[in-house]
A and B are shown apart, each in its own frame.
Chain A
């Protein structure tokens, strides 16, 4: 790949991310001007993609992007009605372009038609579009403006005037006089303020008096109500609001055939000052920087933190010389530094939801194409993962979802015959487990046919006949290169390439993949991916002379014991009799002679009350709670029970992996019972 194209690829990725956001906006009820803004943004996005593809030398991609651009153009002119089916088709189209781009980036040749699967539906959409001509559909004459001003409206603006009026939204005019020296800045401010209240259809220059250094403008705004106070006009600008067109004046016959993009906002639903995310993102400046720069900044910040720690220690030694003030100032610095570190971390992170957003349209499209109704659910979208992982995860996820629909879930009749619900279930959940982000992709389909996998494995020479093969081994076999039980590839999956690619991609990120299934009950594919950095809310405890952090997500309770307890004791916690183990024993450190009086009760994350592992962990001291910037340990230094470290004033503080510590505690307790 040409290194100089890196920026272009990255920009394309951003454009797709924006397109997905805009499409999400279109799927939910929104005021008409928000819908219009989203459609406009999608039109611009596909237009830009078309140009970029041309620049990169991919003419067929460019043609496909052009096709999508045409559809968005019809929508923005109000010639295509926004329906669920239309949005679904557009999502599929954007998805097809995005997958196509990923393929091109991997060096795959261009397909004949990126939108082949959608060709028929796109054609139908274009046929449904209303013709642009026709006096009946041009309602600009309803605007109370001089003919020469009306002539200045572009074709697009005329169609918007028509569309909003048919949608029952009045059109207002804002006439304003602006100082020649600052008019551009003021016009922008006024346009933004007006755009926040409705759809800004046009900005028209008006004739200004010759003897004054001013320019006059007329802004056309479609809004149910326009509040003059919210426009932020300055004294001397002579701002005036005009009622240019009233939808009530439209003939009843036309009003019965609305061609608006969405239902008009109810009168009570005045546009909010803060626009929805999809719209606001157009106004937010996005900086694209090489990740290395952020890494360098983080490293420098870490060096500053080290200096701060040394200074803090010196200050403690000199305590008293300047009162408490220097120490208080150090504390403020520490808080500030952690905030900066958190902000830097957030720059690298993105919500898991954005991954889910990529999957949803594909599942819907596959469900429809394959005739298999699916109930799709997501969980854990609020968790965050590193942006770099997101890009790498999309393709493996899409493949796994395709597999689940193609091979896992049965058709309706088969499900009914088996006594299952007619609609299949596909659940995708994310959860943080220690230093890992875990994704579960669970379906309630037919599960893996292990007998068939075994037979195929033997036939391919991957397994030996006559030997017993565990369920785990057989599931794992499906991740081997070239393995497939399909004699012939289906159009969706089953080509025998993919699962091994999924595995290598996941392992390339330092992660793991596990598969399990039960015949006719369903399958679970579990991906565990290590996070290199995270901010974790922790309980700080002390054992021996060392501090440790225990993630609060797993801390059920802190309890004091009247007498010192040693590992292997039993303690009563909230009426439950729980085993107790010393943290030192879990980590291979010497246990305190007199036992421990403080207990931290841990519970497995996500476990239910009825089926959970709880254990009381003995510690010497509870120091307090803190948000810790966690850094993972390199593979060479992996230690059981420790998920990473955080730089603190006193040095490195180890953050415990609660699930692993619970495992270590159980091992230690069993050794005690066995007397070894």
Chain B
């Protein structure tokens, strides 16, 4: 019997994104991010989460991100302890069996996506946390 994959439907960096709920620790209300002087590229600073520092992603380090971002309303805390600032939360959806597409060729977000998922009449970007972390490591190495 196959298990249903649950996805979080949210908005970040001007895009509609999906995140596997299994990759999330929790979603928390947004708090002010403390900038880290000389911090690694791709990390805008940290917030305090459960008594520990949680690095928060800087979407602007990813190519194809709009120059001006909307205010953050929530932070999705990934299992490997990385916070993703979210501009909006839609809810959760069950991953459809069909309707999966490869990400569009030339999309600058391609390296951090697992693919596109058609929900209703929209193609949503399914974020791959592992690829996102790999990208952060690449950014740091290339510093």
A637 with B40, Cβ < 8 A, contacts A645-B46, A652-B46 known: yes
Kindly state the separation between the CA atoms of A634 and B82 in the bound complex, as whole angstroms: 9
A637 with B37, Cβ < 8 A, contacts A298-B51, A299-B51 known: no
Q: Is A525 an interface residue when CB atoms closer than 8 A count as contact?
A: no
Q: Is A448 an interface residue when CB atoms closer than 8 A count as contact?
A: no
A295 with B51, Cβ < 8 A, contacts A587-B38, A589-B37, A642-B37 known: yes
Q: Is A331 an interface residue when CB atoms closer than 8 A count as contact?
A: no
| Contact residues of A between 356 and 396, Cβ < 8 Å to B | none
B39 to chain A, nearest CB (A): 4
Question: Which chain B residues border A485 with CB–CB below 8 Å?
Answer: none
CB of A654 within 8 A of CB of B37, answer: yes
From A298, A636, A647, B40 is in contact (CB under 8 Å) with: A636
Question: Which chain B residues border A633 with CB–CB below 8 Å?
Answer: 36, 46, 53, 55
Q: Is B2 an interface residue when CB atoms closer than 8 A count as contact?
A: no
Question: Which chain A residues border B48 with CB–CB below 8 Å?
Answer: 302, 306, 647, 652
CB of A636 within 8 A of CB of B36, answer: no
Kindly state the separation between the CA atoms of A298 and B136 in the bound complex, as whole angstroms: 30
CB of A639 within 8 A of CB of B40, answer: yes
A293 to chain B, nearest CB (A): 13
Interface string of A65-107 (1 = CB under 8 A from B): 0000000000000000000000000000000000000000000
Q: Which residue of A lies closest to B37 (CB)?
A: A587
Q: Is A588 an interface residue when CB atoms closer than 8 A count as contact?
A: yes
Q: Which residue of A lies closest to B35 (CB)?
A: A546
B71 to chain A, nearest CB (A): 19
Interface string of A637-649 (1 = CB under 8 A from B): 1111110010100
Question: Which chain B residues border A652 with CB–CB below 8 Å?
Answer: 34, 46, 48, 53
Kindly state the separation between the CA atoms of A302 and B48 in the bound complex, as whole angstroms: 9
CB of A546 within 8 A of CB of B37, answer: yes
Kindly state the separation between the CA atoms of A642 and B46 in the bound complex, as whole angstroms: 13
From A301, A637, A640, B53 is in contact (CB under 8 Å) with: A637
| Contact residues of B between 71 and 103, Cβ < 8 Å to A | 80-82
Q: Is A121 an interface residue when CB atoms closer than 8 A count as contact?
A: no
Kindly state the separation between the CA atoms of A589 and B37 in the bound complex, as whole angstroms: 7
Interface size on B, residues (CB 8 A): 21
Question: Which chain B residues border A645 with CB–CB below 8 Å?
Answer: 34, 46, 53
CB of B50 within 8 A of CB of A639, answer: no
B19 to chain A, nearest CB (A): 17
Question: Which chain B residues border A647 with CB–CB below 8 Å?
Answer: 48
A631 with B53, Cβ < 8 A, contacts A302-B48, A636-B43 known: yes
Q: Which residue of A lies closest to B43 (CB)?
A: A637
CB of B34 within 8 A of CB of A637, answer: no
Q: Is B107 an interface residue when CB atoms closer than 8 A count as contact?
A: no
Kindly state the separation between the CA atoms of A303 and B49 in the bound complex, as whole angstroms: 9
| Contact residues of B between 18 and 48, Cβ < 8 Å to A | 32, 34, 36-40, 43, 46, 48
CB of B53 within 8 A of CB of A639, answer: no
Q: Is A123 an interface residue when CB atoms closer than 8 A count as contact?
A: no
A636 with B38, Cβ < 8 A, contacts A645-B46, A652-B48 known: no
Q: Is A651 an interface residue when CB atoms closer than 8 A count as contact?
A: yes
A302 with B36, Cβ < 8 A, contacts A634-B81, A636-B81, A637-B43 known: no
Kindly state the separation between the CA atoms of A634 and B46 in the bound complex, as whole angstroms: 10
Kindly state the separation between the CA atoms of A636 and B77 in the bound complex, as whole angstroms: 14
Q: Is B3 an interface residue when CB atoms closer than 8 A count as contact?
A: no
Kindly state the separation between the CA atoms of A546 and B136 in the bound complex, as whole angstroms: 26
From B32, B37, B51, B55, A634 is in contact (CB under 8 Å) with: B55
Kindly state the separation between the CA atoms of A652 and B31 in the bound complex, as whole angstroms: 13
A637 with B51, Cβ < 8 A, contacts A642-B36, A652-B34 known: no
Q: Is B121 an interface residue when CB atoms closer than 8 A count as contact?
A: no
CB of A639 within 8 A of CB of B51, answer: no
A641 to chain B, nearest CB (A): 6
A637 with B50, Cβ < 8 A, contacts A651-B34, A652-B34 known: no
Question: Which chain B residues border A587 with CB–CB below 8 Å?
Answer: 37-38
CB of B55 within 8 A of CB of A639, answer: no
Residues of B within 8 A of A (CB): 32, 34, 36-40, 43, 46, 48, 50-55, 80-82, 133, 136
Q: Can you name 4 extra interface pairs (CB under 8 A) apart from A546-B37, A631-B52, A636-B81?
A: A587-B37, A631-B53, A637-B36, A647-B48
9 pairs, CB–CB < 8 Å, chain A vs chain B? A299-B51, A299-B52, A306-B48, A634-B52, A636-B81, A636-B133, A637-B36, A645-B34, A652-B34
Residues of A within 8 A of B (CB): 295, 298-299, 301-303, 306, 546, 587-589, 631, 633-634, 636-642, 645, 647, 651-652, 654
